[in-house]
């Protein structure tokens, strides 16, 4: 008889773990609290029937680059990537925008002339070695590195703060603003060491692979993973929240796509005190305030280049972006937040009918903040696209508590499964194996961390298989 496995949660990591176990021949059942699978990689008709909005993730550089997803037949199961002519754009107050193109040369040429050479010098080695870098980082901390020189070259810049890197490498305001926007993805204080790492990787991903969206919405990634999992014989039971591990049927191994505090709730009486204490000290990061809009025309950007990109970073200069992000880390609410913005229906006509557009945006806010950011976010967009506000037909707002209610992993609105820091990047505080026999964590709280790439789930499944087969 084959061994049985249970996976709690059907986010990208839960599904990746389930596939890893099913491929190894286990009988796998996934339990999901929500009616629809996918966790924070889901789409829904939140605003209006027939209008597809992404509930969580919208833009997928890491999914497109993921070594595990690349090994799966996801295109056979309906996943189709869409790229925009420019990868992303960053509008400025002078009415222009910095555009990032697949070509490093073309990108460098729309920075201030003084920074053209520095940009090429910084990005060429990272882009040329992107596949190696992503393999190393997605398997981090795997020691020894297979490509130590490439990693050391990356590390020299990645260990800098986002602000430090922007100021050290660039003299002009355009490159500095653009790199600050990239650095904001770290969800770290932008003066802290290693807050440049995720921005550097995202910039390299832009040149190497692009930042695509799935045709039909983020749900299509989860649907393709599910279809493949089912083809391997896997089962999914939705609308079933696991409250206590003891309620589950007998199994040989259990993987939980939840954050550490949730595991504590599900198994408190069974966990040893030292693990309980470690989890109690586990820190969650800032929250997110998210808005989906339905608008009656494309966003009227002052800088027309912005209409060529799915992703737009809205926040102006480096100084403003650093101030907004650092305020959040100090527990304050920025007056002018940095807005992560996407306009998928400009490039994917399946999202809504031709007379309307769906757009998506969020900003960081302090953990569990209940301050309504709608006016501040929309004013930031209006600043670079006068007429945006009057184009709004309808909107759906999700503050941190709404996000957590929809998906219990988003504690206090934290979309990363835990706070980010230099220490945590180097020595992850939570590993796959828990002290409970054959129980593993597989969510984005485990290495290599947040983003839709499934590598936490894949690696947790490998660790679990090694453990039960030893
Ligand atoms: C607003 C937002 C925007 C984002 N933008 C991007 C982006 O553009 N690109 C990108 O790459 N990443 C983005 N992310 C991050 C990305 O979505 C997450 O890192 C990723 O989804 C984490 O996957 P996961 O499987 O670890 O957890 P999740 O996706 O959170 O899935 C966890 C699942 O477990 C279920 N669950 C939890 N507890 C239980 C229980 N007790 N019983 C049963 N089921 C349970 C939940 O309902 C959920 O379905 C975004 C996230 C959010 C919220």
Per DSSP, the residues of 103-144 read: SHHHHHTTS-GGGHHHHHHHHHHHHHTHHHHHHHHHT-S-SS
Check residue 214 and give its pLDDT: 98
CATH code of residue 266 = 3.50.50.60
pLDDT digits (tens, 9 = 90+) for 121-178: 999 999 999 999 999 999 887 777 888 899 999 999 999 999 999 999 999 999 999 9
Residue 325 CB–ligand 1 contact under 6 Å: no
Q: Specify the residue with its C-alpha closest to ligand 1, atom 53.
A: 56
Q: Specify the residue with its C-alpha closest to ligand 1, atom 21.
A: 40
Check residue 52 and give its pLDDT: 97
Check residue 421 and give its pLDDT: 79
427 pLDDT tier (thresholds 50, 70, 90): confident
Residue 142 in domain: no
Residue 38 in domain: yes
Residue 418 CB–ligand 1 contact under 6 Å: no
Inter-residue contact 284 to 380 (CB < 8 Å): no
Q: What is the mean pLDDT of residues 207-223?
A: 98
Q: What is the mean pLDDT of residues 91-106?
A: 98
Residue 446 in domain: yes
d(CA 256, CA 4): 15
**Residue 351 C-alpha to ligand 1 middle, in angstroms?**
21
**Residue 42 C-alpha to ligand 1 middle, in angstroms?**
9
| Mean pLDDT taken over the chain | 96
Atom of ligand 1 nearest to the CA of 59: 8
Q: What is the mean pLDDT of residues 215-234?
A: 98
pLDDT digits (tens, 9 = 90+) for 276-288: 999 999 999 999 9
Is it true that the peptide bond before 311 is cis, omega within 30 degrees of 0? Answer: no
d(CA 352, CA 453): 26
470 pLDDT tier (thresholds 50, 70, 90): confident
1 pLDDT tier (thresholds 50, 70, 90): confident
Residue 291 CB–ligand 1 contact under 6 Å: no
Q: What is the mean pLDDT of residues 442-464?
A: 97
Check residue 422 and give its pLDDT: 73
* Closest-CA residue to 321 (of 175, 119, 136): 175
How much of the chain, in percent, has pLDDT values that exceed 70? 100
pLDDT of residue 9 exceeding 90, the answer is: yes
Atom of ligand 1 nearest to the CA of 16: 25
430 pLDDT tier (thresholds 50, 70, 90): confident
d(CA 416, CA 451): 7
Q: What is the mean pLDDT of residues 103-108?
A: 98
Three-state DSSP state, 408 = coil
Residue 256 in domain: yes
Residue 164 in domain: no
d(CA 34, CA 36): 5
Q: What is the mean pLDDT of residues 223-233?
A: 98
Check residue 375 and give its pLDDT: 98
Q: What is the mean pLDDT of residues 431-459?
A: 96
Q: In this structure, what token pair is assigned to residue 385?
A: 């696209």
Beta strand pairing status for 27-31 and 4-8? Answer: parallel
Residue 58 CB–ligand 1 contact under 6 Å: yes
Residue 18 CB–ligand 1 contact under 6 Å: no
Residue 431 in domain: yes
Atom of ligand 1 nearest to the CA of 31: 43
Q: What is the mean pLDDT of residues 192-218?
A: 97
Q: What is the mean pLDDT of residues 261-271?
A: 94
Residue 29 CB–ligand 1 contact under 6 Å: no
Residue 199 CB–ligand 1 contact under 6 Å: no
Count of domains observed in the chain: 1
Check residue 128 and give its pLDDT: 97
Residue 176 in domain: no
pLDDT of residue 423 exceeding 80, the answer is: no
**Residue 39 C-alpha to ligand 1 middle, in angstroms?**
4
Q: Which domain holds residue 65?
A: 4-42+56-80+214-282+419-468
56, 138, 248, 430: residue to mutate for ligand 1 pocket, most atoms within 8 A of CB: 56
**Residue 232 C-alpha to ligand 1 middle, in angstroms?**
23
pLDDT of residue 420 exceeding 90, the answer is: no
Check residue 142 and give its pLDDT: 74
Atom of ligand 1 nearest to the CA of 15: 25
Q: What is the mean pLDDT of residues 235-246?
A: 98
**Residue 417 C-alpha to ligand 1 middle, in angstroms?**
8
How much of the chain, in percent, has pLDDT values that exceed 90? 93
Count of Cβ atoms closer than 10 Å to residue 322 Cβ: 24
119 pLDDT tier (thresholds 50, 70, 90): very high
Check residue 40 and give its pLDDT: 98
450 pLDDT tier (thresholds 50, 70, 90): very high
Burial of 94 (0-12, 13-18, 19+ CB in 10 A): exposed
Check residue 209 and give its pLDDT: 95
Residues contacting 438, CB < 8 A, separation 6+: 251, 252, 253, 254, 464, 467, 468
């Amino acid at each position: 008889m084959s061994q049985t496995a249970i996976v709690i949660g059907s986010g990208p990591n839960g599904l990746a773990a389930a596939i890893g176990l099913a491929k190894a021949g286990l009988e796998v059942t996934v339990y999901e609290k929500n009616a629809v699978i996918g966790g924070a990689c889901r789409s829904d008709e939140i605003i209006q029937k027939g209008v597809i909005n992404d509930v969580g993730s919208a833009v997928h550089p890491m999914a497109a680059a993921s070594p595990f997803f690349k090994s799966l037949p996801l295109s056979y199961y309906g996943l189709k990537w869409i790229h925009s002519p420019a990868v992303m754009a960053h509008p400025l107050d002078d009415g222009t925008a910095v555009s990032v193109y697949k070509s490093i040369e073309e990108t460098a040429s729309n920075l201030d002339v003084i920074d053209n050479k520095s940009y090429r010098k910084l990005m060429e080695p990272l882009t040329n070695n992107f596949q190696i870098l992503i393999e190393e980082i997605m398997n981090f901390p795997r020691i020894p590195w297979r490509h130590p020189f490439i990693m050391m070259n990356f590390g020299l810049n990645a260990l800098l703060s986002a602000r430090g890197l922007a100021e050290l490498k660039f003299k002009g305001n355009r490159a500095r603003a653009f790199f600050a926007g990239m650095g904001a993805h770290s969800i770290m204080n932008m003066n802290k060491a290693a807050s440049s790492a995720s921005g550097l990787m995202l910039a390299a991903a832009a040149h190497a692979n692009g930042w695509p969206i799935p045709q039909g919405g983020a749900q299509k990634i989860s649907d393709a993973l599910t279809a493949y999992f089912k083809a391997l014989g896997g089962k999914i039971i939705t609308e079933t929240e696991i409250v206590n591990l003891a309620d589950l049927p007998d199994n040989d191994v259990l993987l939980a796509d939840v954050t550490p505090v949730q595991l504590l709730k599900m198994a408190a009486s069974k966990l040893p005190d030292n693990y309980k204490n470690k989890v109690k000290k586990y820190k969650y990061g800032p929250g997110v305030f998210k808005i989906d809009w339905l608008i009656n025309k494309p966003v009227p950007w002052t800088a027309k280049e912005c209409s060529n990109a799915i992703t737009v970073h809205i926040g102006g200069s480096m100084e403003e972006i650093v101030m907004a992000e650092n305020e959040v880390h100090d527990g304050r609410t920025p007056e002018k937040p940095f807005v992560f913005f996407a306009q998928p229906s400009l490039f994917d006509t399946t999202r809504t009918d031709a007379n309307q557009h769906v757009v998506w945006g969020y900003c960081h806010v302090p953990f569990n903040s209940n301050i309504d950011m709608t006016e501040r976010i929309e004013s930031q967009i209006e600043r670079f696209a006068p007429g945006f506000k009057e184009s709004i037909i309808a909107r759906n707002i999700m503050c941190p508590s709404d996000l957590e209610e929809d998906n219990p992993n988003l504690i206090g609105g934290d979309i990363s499964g835990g706070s980010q820091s230099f220490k945590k990047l180097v020595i992850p505080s939570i590993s796959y194996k828990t002290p409970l026999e054959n129980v593993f964590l597989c969510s984005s709280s485990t290495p290599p961390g947040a983003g839709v790439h499934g590598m936490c789930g894949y690696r947790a499944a490998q660790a679990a298989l090694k453990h039960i087969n030893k």
